[in-house]
Amino acid sequence: MKTISKQFVSIGWLIAAFLLLNVSVTSCRKADKTDPPKLPASDSATSILFVGNSLTYTNDLPAILTRIAKDSGVSIRTVSLAYPNYALEDHWNDGDMQKLIATGEYRFVVVQQGPSSQADGRAMLLDYGARIKSLCNQHNAKLAFFMVWPALVNSHTFDGVIKNYSDAAAATNSLLCPVGQVWRNYFLATGDYSYYGPDGFHPSLKGSENAAGIIFRALFR
């Protein structure tokens, strides 16, 4: 009888451990899928939310901005919502951006999508830019448009990129981080295209560092 009792006890412990592990894994998966990222704890740092795509997360531009700020005596903390091929409409439909802005924890919200030199990209910048601006106004955040750049093979569309991002910032009375404009001027003056990475679209480390510097000056000038 003692042997049978021990077997039942062992089986009971195994079942309990399995159920506990299953609950833990399920909870982790749910958190990974549904919970937006959270700010690191800080009492005095300026909080910045980045909303964009691979042009933001390549080379970890928010981390570069953090280093530039630190070197200038400014303490910042960042959260980034940046996914491949995402436009502002995609972020709006996901809903995480709205949840984060609604916390009231962010001083700046920096947004970008693709080059947006064509009519549909322009319309999306203006439409969703206005929606995000309204949300920022409700929660004491400043909206900033991170002007990007076209692929090198589409450099003839630079004027459209510059105009549409500039118009979106002006229409919403928002800050403009004129990275694309600075890049275009640099290319024309030097013939040096090293801000581009190997694929001719995503930034090299040099390009991300330059972009982060421009964003820093636009936010903290």
CATH code assigned at 89: 3.40.50.1110
3-state secondary structure of 110: strand
For helices 119-138 and 158-171, angle between their N-to-C axes, nearest 10 degrees: 30
Same-domain check for residues 171 and 69: yes
Q: Which two tokens stand for residue 221?
A: 């000038």
Same-domain check for residues 142 and 46: yes
Model-level pTM? 0.82
Same-domain check for residues 56 and 104: yes
Cα-trace Rg, the chain:
23
Same-domain check for residues 54 and 134: yes
Same-domain check for residues 163 and 96: yes
pLDDT at 35: 62
Nearest-CA neighbor of 142 among 166, 163, 111, 165? Answer: 111
For the cut 90, the answer to whether the pLDDT of residue 14 exceeds it is: no
The answer to whether 92 and 59 are in contact (CB under 8 A) is no
The answer to whether 195 and 207 are in contact (CB under 8 A) is yes
Confidence tier at 15 by pLDDT (50, 70, 90): very low
Confidence tier at 140 by pLDDT (50, 70, 90): very high
pLDDT at 37: 64
For the cut 60, the answer to whether the pLDDT of residue 22 exceeds it is: no
Same-domain check for residues 3 and 108: no
Same-domain check for residues 12 and 85: no
Mean pLDDT score of the chain, rounded to an integer? 87
Same-domain check for residues 84 and 3: no
pLDDT at 221: 86
Same-domain check for residues 81 and 28: no
pLDDT at 4: 37
Same-domain check for residues 59 and 15: no
pLDDT at 44: 81
Q: Which two tokens stand for residue 220?
A: 């903290």
Domain enclosing residue 30, as ranges: 1-35
pLDDT at 43: 59
Confidence tier at 17 by pLDDT (50, 70, 90): very low
Cα atoms in the 13 Å half-sphere on the side-chain side of 182 = 19
Same-domain check for residues 12 and 101: no
Average pLDDT (95-119) is 98
Q: Which whole-number Å values give the CA distances from 145 to 80, 180, 213, in the listed order?
A: 15, 11, 15
For the cut 70, the answer to whether the pLDDT of residue 147 exceeds it is: yes
Nearest-CA neighbor of 108 among 149, 72, 62? Answer: 62
The rounded distance, in Å, linking the Cα atoms of 92 and 107 is 19
Same-domain check for residues 12 and 52: no
Confidence tier at 118 by pLDDT (50, 70, 90): very high
For the cut 60, the answer to whether the pLDDT of residue 26 exceeds it is: no
pLDDT at 7: 40
Residue 217 sits at φ, ψ, to 5 deg, of -65, -35
The rounded distance, in Å, linking the Cα atoms of 129 and 187 is 28
By DSSP bridging, strand 76-82 and strand 142-146 are: unpaired
Task: Give the chain's domain count.
Answer: 2
